[in-house]
Structure 1
Amino acid sequence: MLHDSKAYSGFSVDDIVTAKEFYTKTLGLDVGEEHGMLHLQIAGGPVILVYPKPNHVPAEYTVLNFPVTDIEATARELTERGVTFEQYNDDQDKLGIYRGQGPLIAWFKDPAGNVLSIIQG
């Protein structure tokens, strides 16, 4: 029934104006806005909906992963733009990059507290 539906994902934020500034200026994404909601334009993928929610509670999981070719360079640039990487365990280096089993990954939060990541890919 939904086989041909072009599904997309979304998540909430508590302040749409602050979110728009973060996603456009800090992360450098193309962001559209319609009906008070944001549409994140991700390269090669569907639009991601970001919607305001007055009683927003950040997700307890990663809502958006950004594959990058050079995680160290990307982590440094994001840090220069004001992003703070989360430190979850001892397998992360000083940049916040997890170097345990699996791919290299570093987590950070948007202004609403949603967890995002950059992942070597």
Structure 2
Amino acid sequence: MTSRGRNPLADGRVATGLPPARDLERARRFCSEKLGLEPVDERPCGLLYRCASGESQLFRSAGAAPGTFTQTSWQVDDIETAVSELRHRGVVFEEFEPAAVYGGGRTEDGIAEVEGHFRSTGARGDRDAWFRDSEGNMLSIGQPRY
């Protein structure tokens, strides 16, 4: 808390950084063609995307993509429809056992049931699906389970 009684971070809006891109134009094409997202602002160092009330920045980087953990995640209302639409656009979903990290079972048709994972308040877990972007970064979509 500040001396004025407010917490500037708790009162602020969160903007995430979408994973780094070695090739910004390739990453832009992936976001456009595969995810259906267009930037709302462009700078030499990166692109800004807006989804619902959140923002995500895709930034140019010479570093390697971490690829070992989720970099950016979207919450959706219907994960089956989202997975189907993204597959139609050419997105390939990961098939693995997230149990060791997330407490879930093996993915089935790209979707895992994950107990105790929280996407929103009051959820008992979620249904998640992971995929990689054009730079090898891990991204995910999920639907809360109530």
Q: Of the two structures, which has the highest relative contact order with CA contacts closer than 8 Å and spacing of 6 or more?
A: 1
User: 1: CA distance between counterparts of 2:88 and 2:131?
Assistant: 14
1:19 paired residue among 27, 34, 37: 27
Other-structure match for 2:107: 92
Other-structure match for 2:122: none
State the percentage of identical aligned residues: 31
1:38-77 equivalence runs, <5 A: 38-45=47-54, 47-77=55-85
Q: Which runs of 5+ in 1 are unaligned?
A: none
State the aligned residue count: 119
Offset of residue 7 of structure 1: 5.1
User: 2: CA distance between counterparts of 1:69 and 1:7?
Assistant: 20
Other-structure match for 1:110: 133
Q: Deviations over 1:50-95 (max 9, x none)?
A: 111123232422111111111111111111111110112162112x
What amino acid sits opposite 2:134 in the alignment? P
Query: Is 1:81–2:96 an aligned residue pair?
Result: no
Q: Which runs of 5+ in 2 are unaligned?
A: 98-104, 116-124
Query: Is 1:34–2:57 an aligned residue pair?
Result: no
Q: Deviations over 1:75-118 (max 9, x none)?
A: 11111111110112162112x10024231000001111111111
**Two-structure CA RMSD over aligned residues (Å):** 2.0
8 Å contact from structure 1 (residues 91, 100) kept in 2: no
TM-score by length of 2: 0.72
